[in-house]
Structure 1
Amino acid sequence: MLSLKNSLKVLKKTNALLKGHFVLSSGLHSAHYVQCAKLLSQPKFSKKFINSLAIKVKKKFKKIDLILSPAMGGIIVGYEIGRILSIETIFCERVNKKFTLRRGFSIKKNSRVLIVEDVITTGKSSLECVKLIKKFKAKLIGFACLIDRSNNENIKDKIISQVELKIPTYNKKDLPDQLKKIPITKPGSRFLR
């Protein structure tokens, strides 16, 4: 498995760990952003990350029937974990601002579903996926992600990650002075049109 120290080196080498002033998809502000697309664009580096996460998933969850990932960020990671573990993998997409299954995807009743993402911060996308799982009367077994920077106590103990990062987030009205001086970047895709 890839150590935390080596994982951080890979994130920096692939320019996936960014510094600045970012508004996350949740609306929260942060001085750091993890752009997993940069990591995933370089297979020789992302392979180590994903293989290491797959080992952790296999140890933690003995029976997984289906992997569900939210579009856009979770699709590649979900597919790769599914490929390595030989598990069917589907993804959900936003339609009218709500996650739904398209493209003929469905979730069988009582199936054991693992949600796989690239990064979990507030857990909003993951919790939206949970609603889909419940709608199909299936069972959530947990969450897996490359980067866990979560602060949501409702899901924190159910997350398996390759790297856990403690990166503070702030509401707009509570920004530290040094962050106020940096121009804002909105790197996420949730609100793209």
Structure 2
Amino acid sequence: MTDDEVLAEFRAAEALLEGHFILSSGLRSPRYLQCARVLMNPARAARLADALAARIPEDIRSQIEAVVSPAMGGVIAGHEIGRALGVDAMFVERPEGVFGLRRGFRLIPGQKILLMEDVVTTGLSSREAIKAVEEAGGKVIAAASLVDRSNGTADLGVPFFPLIRIDVPAYAADALPADLAAIPAIKPGSRAMTA
């Protein structure tokens, strides 16, 4: 799947948004990819996961024993990449502020894990999820995401395979360009708000 074909999937799902968005990192951006919308169609989610699985080099892909993703955004993406790879998919969540496995999920000591995200912006939540996997006994051997919007700056400490890289500017709230500052900011996703 080419980058244009991936973007066509986002556009078809009305998941490529324009405006003034507050990212989970706190940074602001004029564009937002709403992965939940692109993943709401099972056939589209399967196409994207299959394309991503094919981008992971075979020497890594063949070692993956399970997929772990951070809740909430990574749950569907993680499940789909697990299906594409033929391995179990679990997720970490942080009901009290720190990621951990719950719901009876557990890892075998040394189990080789692919960490799967929907979108990586700064990599902070990915690194926190990797730490939780390691504390639970797993070994993260690679990470993947549908979208890398870090402008190539995210360092997850393991090989990282995004389906698409989208370089969209992101700004601190106190350093917005005038045209972006003139638009009310919204926080899309599961914790929507207007600033």
Identity %: 39
Aligned residue in 2 for 1:9: 8
Shift of 1:42: 2.1
Q: Distance in 1 between matches of 2:176 and 2:59?
A: 38
Report if the CA contact (8 A) 1:25-1:189 is conserved: no
* 3-state secondary structure, aligned to 2:99: strand
CA distance in 1 between counterparts of 2:40 and 2:156 reads 28
Instruction: Tell me what 1:42 maps to.
Output: 41
Give distance in 1, aligned partners of 2:184 and 2:192.
Answer: 19
| Alignment TM-score, normalising by the size of structure 2 | 0.90
Going from structure 1 to structure 2, the CA distance change for 1:100 and 1:82 (only over 3 Å counts) comes to same
Corresponding residue number in structure 1 for 2:82: 82
Match of 2:166 in 1: 165
* Equivalent pairs, count: 191
Deviation at residue 142 of structure 1 after TM alignment? 1.3
Greater Cα shift, 89-98 or 154-163: 154-163
Partner-residue secondary structure (3-state), 2:119 = strand
Structure having greater relative contact order (Cα 8 Å, sep ≥ 6): 1
Following superposition, the deviation at residue 84 of structure 1 comes to 2.1
Deviations 1:121-144 (A, max 9, x none): 111211111111221343211111
Displacement after TM superposition at 1:191 (Å): 8.6
User: 1:188, CA displacement in angstroms?
Assistant: 3.5
Superposed displacement of residue 74, structure 1:
0.8
TM-score (norm 1): 0.91
- More displaced, 133-142 or 63-72? 133-142
Question: Larger deviation: 49-58 or 96-105?
Answer: 49-58
The answer to whether 1:133 aligns with 2:157 is: no
Structure 2 partner of 1:22: 21
Gaps of 5+ in 2: none
* Structure 1, 44-53 or 2-11: larger mean CA deviation: 44-53
Query: Higher mean Cα deviation, 128-137 or 118-127?
Result: 128-137
Alpha-carbon distance, 1:179 to partner: 0.5
**Change over 3 Å in CA distance of 1:38–1:113 after alignment to 2:** same
Spell out structure 1 runs of 4+ moving beyond 6 A.
none
Identify unmatched segments of 5+ residues in structure 1.
Answer: none
Q: Residue type matched to 2:5 in 1? A: N
Q: Which residue of 1 aligns with 2:188?
A: 187
Partner of 1:115: 115
Deviations 1:10-58 (A, max 9, x none): 2112111110000011111011111011111123333321110121236
Q: In the alignment, is residue 66 of structure 1 matched against residue 66 of structure 2?
A: yes
